[in-house]
Amino acid sequence: MQRLFFTLSLLLATSSSLDIDGVETTYGPFTNKEQTYVPCYSANSNAYAISSSNNGLCMHSHACRYKFCNSQDAKMNLPLYSVDAKNHTDIIHAFQYAKDNDLYVSVKTTGHSYTGSSTEEGSLLVWMHNYEKDLTFHESYKNSCQASHEKYVEHDVISIGGGAVWDDVIEAVKDDYHVVTGGGRTVSAIGGWLQGGGLSFSSRKYGIGVDQAIDFEVVLTNGTVVNADACTNSDLYFALRGGGGGTYGVVTKVHYKVYPKTAITVVQYSLLASDYGKYWELISKAVAQFFEFWIDKSPDLSNDWCGGFFGPFHLHLVYCGTASEMLSDGFFSEFTAWYNDNLDKSQMVENEWGAFPPSYIEYDSWYEYKGGAGAYQNPASTDQTGNSYNGIESMSARLMPEAVVRERGHDVLELLTSLTPYLGFVNYFLGGKINDVAIDETSVNPFLRSTVWSIFTNDDRSGQTVREFVTNDETGVCYNHHYGLEPDWRRACFGSHYDTLKSLQEKYDSDKLLNCWHCVGYQGEEKESSHEAYPINEISAANKYMSSFNCIMIVSLVSTFMLL
């Protein structure tokens, strides 16, 4: 509260732009009012434009201009100043200015946060969008451990600077290597995505993002620049590998693993209708049949099925290998046999509703799968955000334990079918190599290492339904996709690691300069959802019917992801 009053008085007393010695480009002071944010709307749904607009104030989810991404409270959540950081010195001077003027510091690269964690009311924003990107390759790169040490690593890497987004990395890697990337091309490569864990559609074979980071270069709030790996500042290395980021320091460079190039084969299945409400009873039976098949098969797929996503009406599976290798695996034959022999197609109506049989397409590399050269800096080749992201702030995510899917398959089927209208369209397929990493090796929620899916729901009540089905005693959330009003968020996001992370945050930011909502060590007002769950199998008939418009929109979004 003291900092807030100081910030208000500083704003009232300031009539000119911020000037920090040693920093070339600064912006502000900004008023914490709607008109300050209005220029962000001119970017429409262009994720690239949103990332670079309005002096760093824009969020990919416009709802996150509000505190807690909650428009009902209508409390704006904008920084007082932004610093266009381009090197270490800019960040160090920003920290010193914030310390001298009793300001919190927030950190943002692109603002692709569903919870608003990359902005903070009245803070000094360190905007990393224009920071150097590096993007150089190093063969047989080594960490600081001795060769005889159990945590010694030697691996080919790409050096990624703080301003790089996945679009930059994918274009730098091209066809030369395989690299574990995020979904959206405009997502920060080594900021929130990586430090929050980093899910990918190839994680089942290679691990999640934090499993690729050999070391971090970090600017601490005391003005020092340090490296962190398994043998140097190893506790900081642990914190940055899944501890959420935002409150330990500013990550400016990461040496990130790359792998030999591999072909990518994508298997797809879809169920479409011109009017979902008209045929809902029949469609829901087909959805249940698909879910029953997927519940039975997904936990046992080999790691070469390296990732993908699914929903009630589609499956998008990624196989790391050629089509002939995929076919020799056997699953595609089982999938086709299920479609031919088990899926009830007797009441499907041509041109009205029906299911497309499993199909596949082979890409020469991950680069081609992600769109090739034509996708670089192309707004049509990544997710549309901004004006198209309405409702994303209500989305919840929940990790589904592998043991629950194996041992309580009938209950899982009942849950999924009951919530069909409320399930997200990109429910991650996890497990595989993700689950081979020891839970204390990284700081992601330990339950992530024993999960098979990450389930998304699109409103408060459906999220609470899944939350009650698998509680924090047996699972949690993926930090990067969790709900902004997640109840008991510290436990849900970080599980048993939270107390350790809190002590590390206090160690590396002893002045408590860094602050952001749902970040470790957060200081400020709390808010969480209080909505009741939907009773399973008791959702009203009116709510069960999905409008044709909404379903067409979902299918369109799925199709977009299939092109990425």
Q: pLDDT digit string (tens) for 141-156?
A: 999 999 999 999 999 9
DSSP 8-state class, residue 535: P
Query: What pLDDT is stored for residue 361 in this prediction?
Result: 99
Average pLDDT over residues 29-41: 96
CA dist 243 and 227 (Å) reads 17
Give the chain's end-to-end CA distance (angstroms, integer). 45
Span 389-400, average pLDDT:
90
Residue 183's pLDDT is what? 80
Q: What is the pLDDT of residue 332?
A: 99
Q: How large is the average pLDDT for residues 225-238? A: 99
Residue 40 per-residue DSSP state = G
DSSP string, 212-255: TEEEEEEE-TTS-EEEESSSSSHHHHHHHTTS-SSSS-EEEEEE
In the numeric block, which tokens belong to residue 130?
Answer: 């224009």
φ, ψ of residue 140 in degrees (nearest 5)? 50, 45
Average pLDDT over every residue of 277-281: 94
Percent of the residues in the chain that have a pLDDT greater than 70, as a whole number: 92
pLDDT at residue number 156: 99
Q: What is the pLDDT of residue 390?
A: 83
pLDDT computed for residue 563 by the predictor: 37
- DSSP code for 124: E
Residue 278 above 80 pLDDT? yes
pLDDT value for 534: 80
Contact predicate 357/364, CB 8 Å: no
pLDDT at 178: 98
241 has a pLDDT exceeding 60: yes
pLDDT recorded at residue 147: 98
pLDDT, position 405: 99
pLDDT > 60? residue 529: yes
Domain 134-261: which CATH number of 3.30.465.10, 1.20.1640.10, 3.20.20.140, 3.20.10.10: 3.30.465.10
Q: Give pLDDT, residue 19.
A: 84
Report the alpha-carbon distance of residue 168 to residue 138 in Å, rounded.
Answer: 17
Helix (H) or strand (E) holding 316: strand 314-320
Rounded to a whole number of angstroms, the CA Rg of the chain reads 23
Confidence of residue 321 (pLDDT cuts 50, 70, 90): very high
Q: How sure is the predictor about 553, in pLDDT bands with cuts at 50, 70 and 90?
A: very low
Q: Are 490 and 431 in contact (CB under 8 A)?
A: no
Q: Residues 265-273: what's their mean pLDDT?
A: 97
> What does the buried/exposed string (b/e) look like for 205-223 if buried means 16 or more CB atoms within 10 Å of the residue's CB?
bbbbbbbbbbbbbbbbbbe
Checking DSSP bridges between strand 264-273 and strand 213-219, what pairing results, if any? unpaired
Instruction: Give the integer Cα–Cα distance in Å for 255 and 491.
Output: 30
Q: Is 418 helix (H, G, I), strand (E, B) or coil?
A: helix
Q: What's the whole-model pTM score? A: 0.93
Mean pLDDT score, 61-75: 89
Domain ranges of the chain: 2-127, 134-261
Separation CA 564–CA 559 (nearest Å):
9
Instruction: Report the pLDDT averaged over residues 448-454.
Output: 99
Share of the chain above pLDDT 90, in %: 85
Domain covering 2-127: architecture: 2-Layer Sandwich (3.30)
Q: How high is the mean pLDDT of the chain?
A: 92
pLDDT over 80 (residue 562): no
* φ and ψ of 329, to 5 deg: -65, -35
Whose tokens are 């596949």? That residue is 360
pLDDT at position 441 over 70: yes
Question: Any idea what DSSP says for residue 306?
Answer: -
- Looking at the predicted structure, is the pLDDT value of residue 290 above 50? yes
Task: Kindly provide the b/e burial profile for residues 83-121, where b requires at least 16 CB atoms within 10 angstroms of the residue's own CB.
Answer: bbbbebebbbbbbbbbbebebbbbbbbbbbbbbbbbbbb
Cβ atoms of 106 and 503 closer than 8 Å: no
Structure tokens given for 424: 């997200």
Dihedral angle computed from the Cα positions of residues 88, 378, 136 and 59, in that order, rounded to the nearest 10 degrees: 30
CA distance 99 to 540: 54
Listed in sequence order, the DSSP H helices in 259-394 are 280-297, 323-329, 331-341, 366-369
Convert the pLDDT of each residue in 196-229 to its tens digit: 999 999 999 999 999 999 999 999 999 999 999 9
Strand partners, 362: 265
Q: What is the pLDDT of residue 21?
A: 82
Structure tokens at 11: 């704003």
Residue in the block written with tokens 């020092």: 224
Residue 226 CA neighbour count, 13 Å, CB half = 18
- DSSP state, 479? G
Torsion-angle region of residue 4: left (phi > 0), alpha (psi -120 to 50) or beta? alpha
Integer CA distances (angstroms), 38 to 24, 42, 57, in order: 25, 8, 10
Q: What is the pLDDT of residues 479-510, one digit of tens each?
A: 999 999 999 999 999 999 999 999 999 999 99
Name the nearest CA neighbour of 184 among 481, 486, 445, 452: 481
pLDDT at 162 over 50: yes
Q: Tell me what pLDDT residue 547 has.
A: 41
